[in-house]
């Protein structure tokens, strides 16, 4: 029954829509914490699990309830000691359990790139184990050296991936706790109107009426003054009447 429930949860996680704030390839965004997780993985796992539970250890269950022993280890009496034992004795399970907690809380799916990296880590670990068994059965020194190289490589990949994974969890909880700051709210910009700098108010919509005689309209400078001449009057003086036209002779009038 428990295996069926876990299988259903794994199937449900494949349909989550959200994504991690950063993938495993970009976990170096918090490089100092990545180094700390690589050098002291159990300590980082302890703090991340406690933080994932919102520092409420009454909610703690061994391996977050994903293992058969969960809830049967006396977690309610001494949760800190049980968590300490988990991260040191079952480090891989502690990292995976924290990851499953965050995925179930925020509906986060694992990207294809992250799946490939995790699968490569597991395959390399299994290959190193198989080579070690073959070396023990055959007694070949060449296979023994190859198995040692594979074991060393798998350990390096394992520690690196776990450190990046815990950094990914830490960045996601930083986002959850608002340590990245609140995002600005996108609002509709106000209606803009075209206007000149020298105008205190934008012009009214529509066509302006023609200006009457008087001082120049607001915003237009007066006409330039030529040196040596008096300033022109504004508005200009009335135009003189046109000269009278010469009287045309009558058509019947002799020239």
Within-domain flag for 196: no
Q: Which domain holds residue 10?
A: 2-176
Query: What is the rounded (10 degree) CA torsion for 168, 172, 173, 177?
Result: 150
Residue 111 pLDDT: 81
Is pTM beyond 0.85? Reply is no
Within-domain flag for 190: no
Within-domain flag for 71: yes
Within-domain flag for 129: yes
Residue 6 pLDDT: 66
Structure tokens at 138: 């055959």
Residue 195 pLDDT: 44
**Number of structural domains, the chain?**
1
Within-domain flag for 234: no
pLDDT digits (tens, 9 = 90+) for 157-170: 999 999 999 999 99
For 111, list phi and psi in degrees, rounded to 5: -70, 165
Within-domain flag for 24: yes
Within-domain flag for 214: no
pLDDT digits (tens, 9 = 90+) for 202-227: 555 555 555 555 555 555 555 565 55
Within-domain flag for 81: yes
């Amino acid at each position: 029954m428990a295996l069926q429930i876990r299988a259903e949860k794994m199937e449900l996680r494949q349909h989550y829509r959200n994504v991690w704030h950063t993938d495993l390839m970009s976990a170096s965004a918090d490089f100092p914490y990545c180094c700390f997780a690589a050098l002291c993985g159990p300590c980082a796992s302890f703090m991340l699990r406690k933080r994932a539970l919102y520092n409420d250890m009454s909610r703690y269950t061994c391996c977050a309830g994903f293992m058969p022993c969960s809830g049967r280890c006396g977690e309610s009496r001494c949760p800190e000691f049980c968590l300490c034992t988990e991260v040191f004795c079952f480090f891989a399970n502690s990292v995976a359990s924290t990851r499953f907690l965050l995925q179930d809380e925020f509906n986060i799916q694992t990207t294809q790139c992250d799946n490939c990296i995790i699968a490569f880590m597991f395959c390399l670990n299994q290959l190193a184990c198989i080579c070690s068994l073959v070396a023990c059965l055959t007694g070949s020194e060449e296979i023994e050296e190859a198995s040692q190289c594979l074991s060393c490589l798998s350990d390096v990949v394992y520690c690196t991936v776990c450190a990046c994974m815990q950094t990914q969890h830490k960045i996601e909880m930083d986002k959850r706790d608002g340590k990245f700051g609140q995002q600005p709210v996108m609002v509709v910009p106000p209606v803009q109107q075209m206007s000149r700098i020298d105008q205190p108010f934008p012009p009214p919509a529509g066509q302006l009426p023609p200006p009457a005689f008087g001082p120049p309209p607001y915003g237009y400078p007066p006409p330039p003054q030529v040196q040596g001449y008096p300033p022109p009057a504004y508005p200009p003086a009335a135009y003189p009447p046109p000269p009278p036209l010469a009287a045309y002779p009558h058509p019947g009038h002799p020239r």
